[in-house]
Amino acid sequence: MGASSGLNLTIGRVAKTRKGKRVLNSRGPQLLEPTKKLLLMKGNKASMTVQQILSDIRDLKKPDAVYLHSRNQKDFHPFEDIQTGQYLCEKNNCGVFCLGSSSKKRPSRLVLGRMFANELLDMYELQVVHYLGSSSFSGVEKPRFGSKPLVLLQGAAFESTAVMKGLRNLMADIFRGGTDCAPGGSAKLHLKGIDRILAITALECDAAQAHLSKKLHLQAGGSTLTTEGAAATAVAATLPPAEHPEGEASLETDVAGIGGSGVTGHIICLRQYRVTMQKGEAGSKAPRVELVEVGPQIDMRLDRHRLADPDRWKRATRTSDVSKKKAEAAAPGREKGKKRKNVTTTVTSDVIGRVYVDKPDWKALDKQNVLLMKQNRKRAKLASEGETRGTASAESHSDS
């Protein structure tokens, strides 16, 4: 939704020139939003593990990430006062933010939030219960720098509550790419340009179920380098060491600086895989896809949250008919000032065009005449007989 005036909602500045108005409007809400930049910040206290997590998230989001690693945001508590976050997001032109902090009361916390019209829209606090950095996957080839990932959001837990639905929407908003086409347009996908997948899985189970799922998965010969295996192992990593049976190896989360604890409820597992295309089956054009985990492994538990106000959420997700017409007019290959006739846009932003065809003139068709066809056949037959007679007479004269 584009801003209609040149007002900056946070500072109250008014544009004095047309260029200034365009600049302020570009910083406001838009129908076709570019890729949102992620602002990464450290809280008043941030352990080395939290700083490594922020660095890995920055690598996932590069080059659309701004990491304020040189200083800590002192006395910045988003759930108490969000003014500092709003100011920093506007200053760095970022639509989403991630604050990492660690304290005795709330260890290894990540606060994810996003802005709308330079004000907070919604916010979620996640506790990191398992972490394995990208540096631990040193023997695999890393994806290309700046490549857009395929974001996979899976798990029935994302549909369980309104909070989980909002968290899924926020995760997709953070890691998705830009909208390169107008509503109703078709986005082209080049298979050879896809080199990584970002899998975000939501699981809902208690500690006993997590331990049982891990045990059954490993007994069946499952691998932790698949999406399902990584998700099962991630939940099992949150178990306290005492719950593992004797003689069975337990996952040591203390290596990452995070102590294991019995966790119940919703677990969000984040994994990154490198995509390799292999030759498919004989007679098939589709390639065979293999996934190799390249890190990081981040498993989080949902803690506190602040949902968006229904009215502001409706404004943030609104697409009016006027905005759709403006977007269609700004589509590539569209001549400025030329009205598009017989084109309508559906509720799902699909463009439907109506084509008119003139009434056909049946008399002008080149139809076959039966009598004329018979006459042509007779003429062809007589001509062939005449040629045969002429050839026979010529042979008789030569013999004589």
pLDDT digits (tens, 9 = 90+) for 132-191: 998 888 878 888 887 888 899 999 899 889 999 999 999 999 998 765 554 444 466 777
Q: Pick from 100, 120, 102: which is nearest to 110 by CA?
A: 100
What confidence score (pLDDT) does residue 171 get? 93
Which pTM does this prediction carry?
0.65
Residue 238 is predicted with a pLDDT of 43
- φ and ψ at residue 255, rounded to 5 degrees: -60, -35
d(CA 15, CA 3): 13
List the Cα angle 32/33/38 in 5-degree steps. Answer: 170
pLDDT of residue 217: 43
Which residues does 123 contact at the CB level (< 8 Å), separation at least 6? 78, 79, 82, 111, 112, 113, 114, 305, 306
Task: Please list the residues that pair with 101 across neighbouring strands.
Answer: 109
Residue 67, pLDDT score: 93
Distance, CA of 300 to CA of 238 (rounded, Å): 10
Q: d(Cα 351, Cα 79) in Å, to the nearest integer?
A: 42
**Residue 273: its pLDDT value, please?**
92
pLDDT of residue 260: 43
pLDDT at 335: 53
Q: What crossing angle do the helices spanning 227-236 and 207-219 adopt, rounded to 10°? A: 130
Distances (CA, A) of 179 to 28, 90, 194, 316: 17, 21, 17, 16
Instruction: Write phi, then psi, for 103 (nearest 5 degrees).
Output: -140, 175
C-beta of residue 99 within 8 angstroms of C-beta of residue 41: yes
> What are the structural domains of the chain?
32-183+190-318 (3.40.50.10480)
pLDDT value for 397: 61
Residues with Cβ within 8 Å of 8's Cβ and at least 6 positions away in sequence, in order, are 14, 24, 27, 118
Pick out the chain residues at pLDDT < 70. 1-13, 178-188, 205-264, 319-339, 347-349, 365-368, 392-400
The DSSP bridge partners found for residue 306 are 123
